[in-house]
Chain A
Amino acid sequence: MMGRATQLLLPEGLAAAAVADALAAELPIVTQRAHTIDRTFWDTFDGRLHDAGLALVAAGGRLVLADAATSAEQAAGELPRGPARLFAGGLPAGPLRDRLAPLIEMRALTPAARVRSRFLPLNVLDDVGKIVVRLRVEEPVAVFGARNAPLPSRLHVTGVLGYDRQFERVGAQLERALGLVAPARPVADDAVAADGGRVGGTSSKLRVRLESGDRADAAAVAIARRLLDVIEVNLPGTLDDVDSEFLHDLRVAVRRSRALQRELAGVFPPEPLRVFRGGFRELQAITGPTRDLDVQLLEFDELAARLPDGGDGAVAVAPLRRLLEEHLRGARATMVRELRAARTRALLDNWSAILDGLVDSDPGGRADAPRPVADVAGERIAAVHRRMVRMGRKIDDGSPAEALHDLRKKGKELRYLLEFFASLYPPEVIKPMVSSLKGLQDVLGRFQDREVQADRLRSLGDEVAALEGGAPALMAMGVLVQQLAADQAAARAEFEETFSAFSAREQRALVKQTFA
């Protein structure tokens, strides 16, 4: 088991040998032979391991998951040879995969930083010559291809189990004698920053802070600019098919942009807006088939596991998986071609240009532009909420599935508005509202997803039947379609209760009071 551990930053220009001499004057230490280690730090694009305070380090053929601040090892395994990206499913079974899988989910791990460090171990001994504290001077260099950048040196202080007093004493001596302080961030972050990268990965979260009195058009620009950034940063990973989440995040940002264009139409000049709405609708459409197939394959194992004969069921539907993978390759090739086309680049560049000049542009046809954003946002949130209540009330047992789908779409619109303008309202109002909306959306989502899944299975029936092993696969698909229909019916039965909670008198009063 690990003892306690900490790191201290060494003064600039202080060589390892000088540190050893300075420490030897203070502590009974023995110096060991220095060695150099090349490490690659892996993380997901959105820095999920970084967010969890962890570092995944590849060195010497091993992959070690460690605490980012102390380097304390949490799990380790063999580093698979070769791949430039790793998925949880591609790691050998064991504690490392078990620990990583829930953290990274469907995301790929890719190298975030490469660091070459020279370590000089210095062990602190007790009166019988036993190691009671381990010290290591680290002189790291960030490696970017052929180019290197020296990083600040650090001293690692690692306690030995059962020798806590000595650990504390050494730590205090180091602070007192050498004035050492803890580094602001782990060495991998230093390396990412030295390369001009984003420390902690690239988030697709909205994170826009607005003030009530901001001009509505300025607020719309802030939101749309952030959404455009998300689209741009996720585009390369989408084109290279690093993992399915790039396309997911890109599509969410496109959908949010469309909601913004629709709900805040009054801040944009009408004619260019009409063109951009068409462009973004098309962007959504060209990425749709690939995303649908991504989802089907991501959910495939879960779906197959529902077959009554468990493991054998997965074997039976194997031809279906192969077919979906083939369809995905085709859909992806089409999508990549469309995304690389000049008109996609022009759409994004022109939208960026419109946003740059919006606040100073002609106010004609932009009646909402100069109004305080809180007024415009409040009106829109209240209106969409009212509309949802009206739509939901009309739904009864005889209503077609489309009525529920339309309500779900409106619900997404409301969700996006609440996210755009969350910073303008007290969290105690927004949170319960989002929560009751989420409850409703979960039911509506389940209702629609099951229908979509069942439709997809039905639509693939003829193709699957024609494949080798197609007959058992077709029978298994029939069972799945039945199960999905039962799930859909269950979701529909829950609708009334969740809609009642969403449209309760108190909720409506709260919406009116806060937004209207």
Chain B
Amino acid sequence: MTVVAAYNIKGGVGKTSVSVNLAWLAADSGARVLLWDLDPQGAATYLLRIKPKVKGGGRRLVHGKSDPAALLKGTDHERLDLLPADFSYRNMDLALDATKRPTRRLARVLAPFAGEYDYVFLDCPPAISLASESVFAAAGVLLVPLIPSPLSLRTFEQLRRFVADEVPKPPRILAFFSMTDGRRRLHQDVIDELSGSDGVLRTAIPSASDVERMAVERRVLADFAPHGRAGRAYAELWEELREHIE
């Protein structure tokens, strides 16, 4: 079971979009997939038309007092299940802080699923916190969407240093450019310089209206616009990520 966490300190960079679309594409390729929506805003849960509610809340879950299997919801894809978001996840740091070894808690929630799923995708909230550290400990791959701008790159470097210095068994960090605009010179320059370099995937996800329409359709791109620019880009990103993982 490979755990892929879509993570960035910044919000609005395409974490939910990449989590939901890649989880769906992974299921489409024949894998058994779980998506855990860790963001209390519950956008991934909403896109999959599921109620953002976890019985007992996040606290009981990370304290090992809820059975995570009983909280799962099947999605419209037969091989993709969701551990939904819950508004109580906003207090995840407090819940984790009240446990022994808080950074291992998320991995322990996922441990029973080892034989059930090939991939777990984590849609993480934007922050760097105790919950993030628990994500770093649980994940095998940290998938980082980057807006192609100098400030984003600086933040990415900070993240790389933090993970290398502070995480005992650091996950592999793979970034990709997200929400790119080919008409913007700066975007293009940054992409040309870094795409395909160490830890940065070649595939970039364009800023496209199809991605915004996902919230209206409440469906993933592979379901309603697989042949659009963004739909094709996510399919390529999945293939590239899979090559790196396997």
Chain B interface helix/strand/loop/mixed: loop
Contact: A128 with B72, CB < 8 Å? no
**A130 close to B (CB within 8 Å):** yes
Q: Is A131 at the interface (CB under 8 A from chain B)?
A: yes
Contact status B74-A162, CB under 8 Å: yes
B112 CB to nearest A CB, Å: 11
Residue interface bits A146-182, CB-to-B below 8 A is 1, else 0: 0000000000000011110000000000000000000
Contacts of A163 in B (CB 8 A): 73-74
* Given known A128-B49, A128-B218, A129-B49, contact A1–B73 (CB-CB < 8 A): no
Size range of the chain A interface in the assembly: 10 to 19
CA gap between A149 and B74 in the complex, in Å: 36
A96 CB to closest chain B CB, in angstroms? Answer: 13
B71 surroundings in chain A (CB, below 8 A)? 162
Which B34-64 residues sit within 8 Å CB-CB of chain A? 48-50
Identify the closest chain A residue to B219 (Cβ). A129
Interface contact A130-B72, CB-CB below 8 Å: no
Contact of A161 among B49, B74, B218 (CB under 8 A): B74
> How many inter-chain contacts with C-beta < 8 Å in the A-B complex?
30
**Residue from A128, A129, A130 whose CB has the most chain B CB atoms within 10 Å:** A130
- Residues in B whose Cβ lies below 8 Å from that of A130: 48-50, 76
Contact partner of A1 among B76, B81, B218, CB < 8 A?
B81
Known: A1-B81, A128-B49. A161 touches B76 (CB 8 A): no
Chain A min CB distance to B41 (Å): 18
Q: Are A161 and B116 in contact (CB under 8 A)?
A: no
Q: Contact check, B50 vs A161: say whether CB atoms are below 8 A apart.
A: no
Which residues of A125-156 have CB atoms within 8 Å of chain B's CB atoms? 126, 128-131, 134
Judged by a CB distance under 8 angstroms, whether A53 is at the interface is no
List the A side residues contacting B164 at CB < 8 Å: none
Select one of B69, B74, B218 contacting A3, CB under 8 A: B74
Measured between C-beta atoms, what is the minimum distance from B207 to chain A in Å? 27
In angstroms, how far is the closest chain A Cβ from the Cβ of B111? 15
Provide the bound-state CA to CA distance between A419 and B133, in Å. Answer: 66
CA distance A162 to B48 in the complex (A): 14
Q: B81 contacts which chain A residues (CB < 8 A)?
A: 1, 161
Nearest A residue to B34 via CB reads A1
Contacts of A126 in B (CB 8 A): 49
A1 close to B116 (CB less than 8 A): yes
- Count of interface residues, chain B, beta-carbon cutoff 8 Å: 14
- Return chain A residues, CB-CB under 8 Å to B69: 1
Within 307-339 of A, Cβ neighbours of B (below 8 Å) are at none
* Nearest CB in chain B: distance from A490 CB, A: 39
A162 close to B76 (CB less than 8 A) = no
B49 neighbours in A (Cβ, 8 Å): 126, 128-130
Interface residues of A in 13-54 (CB under 8 A from B): none
**Chain A residue at minimal CB-CB distance from B49:** A130
Which of B72, B78, B116 counts the most A-chain CB atoms under 10 A from its CB?
B78
Please indicate the chain A residues that have their CB under 8 angstroms from the CB of B32 in the complex: 1
A376 CB, min distance to chain B CBs, angstroms: 56
Which residues of chain A come closer than 8 Å to B78, judged between CB atoms?
134
Q: Which residue of B lies closest to A163 (CB)?
A: B74
Closest partner residue, chain A, to B76 (CB atom): A131
Cα-based distance from A161 to B48 in the complex (angstroms): 14
A378 to B116, CA, bound (A): 55
In the bound complex, how far is the Cα of B72 from the Cα of A1, in angstroms? 9
Query: What is the bound-complex CA distance between A123 and B81, given in angstroms?
Result: 17
CB <8 Å contact, A162 and B218: no
Contact digits for B71-87, partner A, Cβ 8 Å, 1 yes 0 no: 11110101001000000
In the complex, A128→B76 CA distance in Å? 12
Q: What CA separation (Å) do A129 and B49 show in the bound complex?
A: 8
A129 to B218, CA, bound (A): 9
CA distance in complex: A161, B32 (Å): 14
Most buried by A among B32, B72, B74, B116: B74
Q: What residue in chain B is nearest A126 (Cβ atoms)? A: B49
Q: How far is the CB of B2 from chain A (nearest CB, A)?
A: 16
Partner of B73, one of A128, A134, A162: A162
Which residue on A lies nearest to B83, using beta carbons?
Answer: A162
A115 to chain B, nearest CB (A): 21
- What is the chain A residue whose CB lies nearest that of B113? A1
Chain A residues contacting B48 (CB-CB under 8 Å) are: 130
CB B194 to nearest CB in A, in angstroms, measures 38
How far apart are A63's CB and chain B's nearest CB, in angstroms?
A: 13
Residues B74-130 near A (CB distance < 8 A): 74, 76, 78, 81, 116
- Whole-angstrom CA separation of A131 from B218 in the bound complex: 13
Distance (whole angstroms) from the CB of B246 to the closest CB of chain A: 14
Which residues on B sit within 8 Å (CB–CB) of A128?
49, 218
Q: CA A161 – CA B218 in complex, angstroms?
A: 19
* A162, B76: Cα distance in complex, Å: 12
Enumerate chain A residues within 8 angstroms of B116, measured Cβ to Cβ: 1
CA distance A3 to B73 in the complex (A): 9
How does the 8 Å CB contact mask read for B139-172 relative to A, with 1 for contact and 0 for none?
0000000000000000000000000000000000
CB distance from B55 to the nearest CB of A (A): 10
Give min CB distance, B71 to chain A, whole Å. Answer: 8
**Minimal Cβ-Cβ distance residue in A for B73:** A162
Give min CB distance, B83 to chain A, whole Å.
10
Contacts of A160 in B (CB 8 A): 73-74
Residues of A close to B74: CB separation below 8 A: 1, 3, 160-163
Chain A residues within 8 Å of B, Cβ to Cβ: 1, 3, 126, 128-131, 134, 160-163
Q: Identify the B interface with A (CB < 8 A).
A: 32, 48-50, 69, 71-74, 76, 78, 81, 116, 218
Ordered by A's residue number, 25 sampled pairs between the chains whose C-beta atoms are within 8 Å are A1-B32, A1-B69, A1-B74, A1-B81, A1-B116, A3-B74, A126-B49, A128-B49, A128-B218, A129-B49, A130-B48, A130-B49, A130-B76, A131-B76, A134-B78, A160-B73, A160-B74, A161-B72, A161-B81, A162-B71, A162-B72, A162-B73, A162-B74, A163-B73, A163-B74
Top 5 A-B pairs ranked by shortest CB distance?
A160-B74, A130-B49, A161-B74, A162-B73, A131-B76
Known: A1-B116, A130-B76, A162-B74. 6 other contacts (CB 8 A): A1-B72, A128-B218, A130-B50, A134-B78, A160-B74, A163-B73
